[in-house]
Amino acid sequence: MAALLAAFPDVEGEDDRALVERHQEAARDWEGTGVDGLVYEYRTQFHRDPLVTQDETAYYLSVRGHVWDEFGERMGLSEDELKRLKEIHESQFAASVGDEAGEDEAMILAKE
């Protein structure tokens, strides 16, 4: 599962790493589209393109809150788990590409 965490080098705690892995697995399993398909859908169906940048390991997105809500629901996360997952993404996003998420929320999706 190292590939799932490649874009999250600053995440150290075992619980945090497990939470990030669950999120990345959920993105890969998203209705048969996988990560690339999911990012493509976001880029073509949202009013504003959420892709801030990408590198060899991940897509760095700035998404509306409803995207996180949908992940939280699909993953069966508690409010505290969802809040923590969003904090991890925000922190790693800022460390990796700077504070460019803007008024929306940071999300990092590991490439397959």
CA distance 11 to 26: 18
Please report the pLDDT score of residue 76 as a whole number.
Answer: 97
Label residues 28-51 b or e (16+ Cβ within 10 Å = b): bebeeeebeebbeebeeeeeeebb
What lies within 8 Å, CB to CB, of 28 at 6+ separation is 34, 35, 112
Please report the pLDDT score of residue 21 as a whole number.
Answer: 96
What lies within 8 Å, CB to CB, of 37 at 6+ separation is 30
* Positive or negative torsion for Cα 10, 13, 14, 15: negative
Per-residue pLDDT of the chain (112 residues; tens, 9 = 90+): 568 899 999 999 999 999 999 999 999 998 878 999 999 999 999 888 999 999 999 999 999 999 999 999 999 999 999 999 999 999 999 999 987 667 799 999 999 8
